[in-house]
């Protein structure tokens, strides 16, 4: 960790507190790195981070500097089979590829703008010189269409960070421009992890039947995503029983998201501020990742298929109408009969609940996912959006990320039906005669 006071001396690009004096003495505006960059994360025993449904940006070493190249551009993005949209991202994807580096690395990041309007990149949470902070108009001129800018700075911290434009943000974030920026510590972890996942939380106003996210929307979104995918297109998170798993979560959406994991008490261990001192770790089963924040959670994997999702229940749904009358408990048979004369196949919705509103029953507008979807080993999962499954198996090889299918529950360990009579057992019910 470095203090703000250390930083004042280090902004010129020194690597550690111990190097501050040396840099001050040399007064070098762009000092060379203390040692060459370019060691992989493996150098310090850290497993490479795995971006769900995503990828890590390759780099090259140029004179001891790690060089990355991001290209801002329009892309065709698939949220899940059956729903694609024109989005903006980096190097062909939203989110853009994860940038992964090690504390102490000197970086040069080229940013080429292939968008129809200007952009910039802000390195969110990263300690760097003011002129590298990427706020268009404040810290630099905007990057005009066709131009390439170079950002250059030395990493003086570790942690889970993000990158995003600081230019026409309302539009550029709303259509998918964002990425993760993971910095590993420059020394081995006291408590190493075996699997290191990362994902970005986001929301999209992709109105049913349309193909471009609407940037003007502030609260009323249709799609809620982990790394720009909705369930069931979100990859499961795999682990072998007993492995220590970290999930790094960043939030560049317009809502806060309480992320809930079944099956374990996880420990919240870090954020933009790096891996916290152990005295600050705390056990939770739900952690709010607020807008603009990152959070790391860690747990020791126990066998099973465990739901991992946002606990805002509308955030585990896909497109739905929010302005409709409440039909819960309303007999709509006559209305359905009348409408059915005009619209063959019309089905009244939601008399007993929304469970009927699943993939099996509903054919929505073009390019529009069912509100709830996904099928598990016991039937429809009735989820969408920010939902996936942590799959833990005894026999998974270390580093194996191939989906092992559904959990084979040991015999006798699944909830079972004991009666189909509603009077079964006659338990006490207030206001009812026994």
Task: State the residues that interact with Cu ion by CB under 5 A.
Answer: 257, 310, 312, 315
C-beta of residue 385 within 8 angstroms of C-beta of residue 228: no
Task: Report, in Å, the least distance between residue 271 CB and Cu ion.
Answer: 18
Task: Report, in Å, the least distance between residue 278 CB and Cu ion.
Answer: 29
Task: Report, in Å, the least distance between residue 229 CB and Cu ion.
Answer: 15
Task: Report, in Å, the least distance between residue 286 CB and Cu ion.
Answer: 11
Which C-beta is closer to Cu ion: that of 225 or that of 358? 225
Which C-beta is closer to Cu ion: that of 248 or that of 257? 257
Task: Report, in Å, the least distance between residue 223 CB and Cu ion.
Answer: 12
Which C-beta is closer to Cu ion: that of 230 or that of 239? 230
HEC profile for the chain?
A: CCCHHHHHHHCCCCCCHHHHHHHHHHCCCCCCCCCCCCCCHHHHCCCCCEECCCCECCCEEECCEEEEEEEEEEEEEEEECCEEEEEEEECCECCCCEEEEECCCEEEEEEEECCCCCECCEEECCCCCHHHCCCECCCECCECCCCEEEEEEECCCCEEEEEECCCCHHHHHHCCCCEEEEEECCCCCCCCCCEEEEEEEEEECCCCCCCCCCCCCCCCCCEEEECCECCCCCCCEEEECCCEEEEEEEECCCCCEEEEECCCCEEEEEECCEECCHHHCEEECEEEECCCCEEEEEEECCCEEEEEEECCHHHHCCCCCCCCCCCCCCCCHHHHHHHHHHCCCCCCCCCCCCCCCECCCCCCCCCCCCCEEEEECCEEEEECCCEEEEEEECCCCCCCCCCCCCCCCCCCCCCCCCCCCCCCCCCCCCCCCC
Name the residue among 76, 58, 85, 270 with its Cα closest to residue 161.
270
Task: Report, in Å, the least distance between residue 370 CB and Cu ion.
Answer: 19
Which C-beta is closer to Cu ion: that of 104 or that of 250? 250
Which C-beta is closer to Cu ion: that of 122 or that of 257? 257
Task: Report, in Å, the least distance between residue 146 CB and Cu ion.
Answer: 37
Task: Report, in Å, the least distance between residue 55 CB and Cu ion.
Answer: 24
Which C-beta is closer to Cu ion: that of 17 or that of 254? 254
Task: Report, in Å, the least distance between residue 234 CB and Cu ion.
Answer: 14
Rounded CA gap, 164 and 176, in Å? 9
C-beta of residue 142 within 8 angstroms of C-beta of residue 118: yes
Task: Report, in Å, the least distance between residue 46 CB and Cu ion.
Answer: 29
Which C-beta is closer to Cu ion: that of 93 or that of 316? 316
Which C-beta is closer to Cu ion: that of 36 or that of 258? 258
Vertex 403: Cα angle to 401 and 407 (nearest 5): 125
Which C-beta is closer to Cu ion: that of 186 or that of 225? 225
Tokens in use for 175?
Answer: 């259509």
Tokens in use for 330?
Answer: 């309303």
Which C-beta is closer to Cu ion: that of 202 or that of 315? 315
């Amino acid at each position: 960790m470095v203090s703000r006071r250390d930083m004042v001396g280090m902004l010129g690009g020194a690597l550690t507190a111990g190097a501050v004096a040396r840099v001050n003495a040399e007064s070098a505006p762009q000092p060379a790195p203390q040692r060459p960059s370019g060691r992989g994360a493996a150098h310090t025993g850290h497993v490479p981070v795995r971006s769900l449904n995503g990828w890590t940006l390759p780099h090259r070493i140029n004179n001891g500097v790690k060089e990355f190249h991001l290209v801002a551009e329009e892309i065709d993005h698939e949220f899940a089979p059956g729903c694609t949209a024109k989005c903006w991202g980096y190097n062909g994807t939203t989110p853009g590829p994860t940038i992964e580096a090690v504390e102490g690395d000197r970086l040069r990041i080229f940013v080429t703008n292939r968008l129809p309007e200007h952009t910039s990149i802000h390195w969110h949470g990263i300690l760097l010189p003011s002129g590298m902070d990427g706020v268009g108009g404040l810290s630099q001129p905007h990057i005009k269409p066709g131009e390439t800018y170079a950002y250059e700075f030395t990493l003086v911290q570790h942690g889970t960070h993000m990158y995003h434009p600081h230019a026409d943000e309302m539009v550029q974030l709303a259509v998918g421009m964002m990425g993760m920026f993971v910095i590993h510590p420059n020394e081995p972890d006291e408590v190493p992890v075996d699997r290191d996942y990362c994902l970005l939380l986001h929301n999209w106003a992709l109105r049913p039947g349309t193909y471009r996210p609407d940037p003007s929307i502030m609260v009323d979104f249709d799609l809620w995503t982990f790394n720009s995918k909705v369930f069931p297109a979100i990859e499961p998170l795999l682990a072998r029983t007993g492995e220590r798993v970290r999930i790094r979560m960043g939030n560049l959406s317009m809502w806060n998201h309480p992320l809930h994991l079944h099956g374990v008490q996880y420990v919240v261990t870090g954020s933009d501020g790096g891996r916290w001192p152990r005295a600050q770790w705390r056990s939770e089963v739900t952690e709010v990742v607020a807008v603009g924040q990152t959070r790391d959670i860690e747990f020791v994997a126990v066998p099973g298929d465990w739901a991992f999702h946002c606990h805002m229940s509308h955030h585990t749904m896909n497109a739905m109408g929010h302005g409709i009358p409440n039909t819960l408990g309303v007999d709509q048979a006559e209305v359905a009969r009348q409408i059915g004369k005009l619209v063959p196949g019309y089905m009244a919705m939601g008399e007993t609940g929304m469970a009927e509103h699943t993939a099996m029953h509903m054919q929505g507008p073009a390019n529009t996912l069912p509100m709830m979807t996904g099928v598990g080993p016991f039937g429809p999962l009735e989820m969408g959006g920010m939902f996936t499954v942590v799959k833990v198996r005894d026999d998974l090889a270390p580093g194996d990320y191939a989906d092992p299918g559904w959990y084979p529950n040991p015999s006798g360990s699944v909830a079972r039906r004991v009666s189909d009579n509603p009077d079964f057992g006659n338990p006490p019910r207030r206001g009812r005669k026994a």
